[in-house]
Structure 1
Amino acid sequence: MSFSPVTHVIFDFDGLLVDTESAYTQANSELLKKYGKVFTMDLKRRQMGKRHDESIRWLINELNIGDLVTPEEYSLQYDAILIEMFKQSPAMPGAEKLVRHLIHHHIPIALCTGSCSRTFPTKLDNHRDWVDMIKLQVLSGDDPEVKHGKPHPDPFLVTMRRFPDVPDNAGKVLVFEDSYNGVLSALDAGMQCVMVPERSIYDPDQDPEFKKRVTLILDSLEHFKPEDFGLPAYD
């Protein structure tokens, strides 16, 4: 199997490189119980990939609990829970190997996450030795140049423009994503996208029209073959 060759790679972070998604699920579940609500996987699917503050506003509006808690109050409680959980978040299978491989072969890579600058550093506590090798990191959660978060294309387009050697066109960029909103963001930016979904949250097989648009769907980064996209193969 082969696809159009790429020259640049952009990684999402949460649930793609590091398993932080379970922390988000637990934190939302704990908080929403206080307000008599249940955090469902449907809510999770629709929330994933959005900017941090945007996702909280969306959730409060979706559940009509704005009279019980403000986005600012929710965010303070939410972040406090997350910070402790993030310290235990493991790397996703194959993530570190792929990042190190691309860097070793001098492939321009970047990170584009919906995280914000106040919580993102905590997620790196156990992973700085390899995540910090990705020099271009766009935290679209509070990056002033990103006007609209995922599923809008803005986060990936901003990231592409910040590469020191800007790609010839968006089609030369390969994005790795785990979320529905993130994939839509990448595809609408004109980029190719490999999706590694958490199928308990979102199963592309149940959405044929969406599945047709995604460049490639894998069960794990361990199954990715760089040479399929014109990148150096693993040794």
Structure 2
Amino acid sequence: MTSTVPASLTRSAERSALQAVLLDMDGTLVDTEGFWWDAERDVFAELGHQLDEAWRDVVVGGPMSRSAGYLIEATGADITLPELTVLLNDRFEDRIGRDVPLMPGAERLLAELAAHGVPTALVSASHRRIIDRVLLSLGPANFALSVAGDEVTRTKPHPDPYLLAARELGAEPARCAVIEDTATGVASAEAAGCRVVAVPSIAPIAPAEGRIVVGSLEHVDLAFLRELVAPGA
């Protein structure tokens, strides 16, 4: 985890029920879910296996250990989980190059949160090496801290990453707004007790109590997030 949390950030949210905004990365802020599938498909092709498109919904949004482990079992590929993890991360980094495409509305939303001093964290199941690379496109200054999937004992769908981010920001989970694109990420945030905005990227997500589903980040702004965590919302 990396953290640069000045005391003024936590104080800035005192006048609002919203204390912090916690954001997923792949498929939420950056248009990379397809890149991960491309990496998985290419690596397994080199191992002599073809991936079934139906598996894409199974592996999306989860930790590397779960996704890679599932594909090893499904294909019967002769490779260990640590070996595959290295290959997939290498291929993904090659795929994104120097610039990562942002999702519509992401740049505007991050700029608005920064302008109003809202404590913001990037919470991803991706490994630290990938997060640090993507942060170059998202702007490290837009986040007080980031939590990587290989820095917690249990990553998504467990609540640990979001509980850690909220704690480091000095925020109550119930007063944190989380933005996620997959059912796995939504489950993690809701288990932590956060309010959730779901922006589905690959598979649909149904609305539920404490959760709002929107079609794009272009529908999300600071006023929207404050309303999400307002008393009685």
Pair 1:95-2:103 in alignment? no
Per-residue deviation, residues 6-64 of structure 1 (Å, max 9, x unmatched): 22100001111111111101111122233323242x42323223222343223323x15
Aligned to 1:142, the other structure's residue is in SS state helix
Which of 142, 145, 149 aligns to 1:133? It is 142
CA distance in structure 2 between the aligned counterparts of 1:183 and 1:218, rounded to whole angstroms: 13
Aligned twin of 1:32:
44
Aligned twin of 1:106:
117
5+ residue gaps, structure 1: 205-209
Task: Map 1:25-104 onto structure 2 (within 5 A).
Answer: 25-33=37-45, 34-40=47-53, 42-61=54-73, 63=74, 65=76, 68-87=78-97, 88-104=99-115
5+ residue gaps, structure 2: 1-15, 228-233
Confirm or deny: 8 A CA contact 1:28 1:39 kept in the other structure.
no
Confirm or deny: 8 A CA contact 2:154 2:160 kept in the other structure.
yes
Following TM superposition, the consecutive aligned residue runs of length 4 or more in structure 1 with deviations greater than 4 angstroms are: none
- Displacement of 1:180 in angstroms is 1.0
Identity value in percent: 30
Aligned twin of 1:202:
203
- Displacement of 1:73 in angstroms is 2.3
* Number of corresponding residues: 210
Which of 191, 198, 212 aligns to 1:216? It is 212
- Displacement of 1:211 in angstroms is 2.8
User: Could you say which structure has the higher helix fraction?
Assistant: 2
TM-score (norm 2): 0.81
TM-score (norm 1): 0.81
CA distance in structure 2 between the aligned counterparts of 1:85 and 1:46, rounded to whole angstroms: 21
CA distance in structure 2 between the aligned counterparts of 1:83 and 1:162, rounded to whole angstroms: 28
Per-residue deviation, residues 177-222 of structure 1 (Å, max 9, x unmatched): 0111000111111110001112xx2123xxxxx5324611111101
Per-residue deviation, residues 46-85 of structure 1 (Å, max 9, x unmatched): 3223222343223323x1525x111122223222221111
Aligned twin of 1:153:
159
Partner AA of 1:152 in structure 2: H
Partner AA of 1:156 in structure 2: Y
Pair 1:9-2:21 in alignment? yes
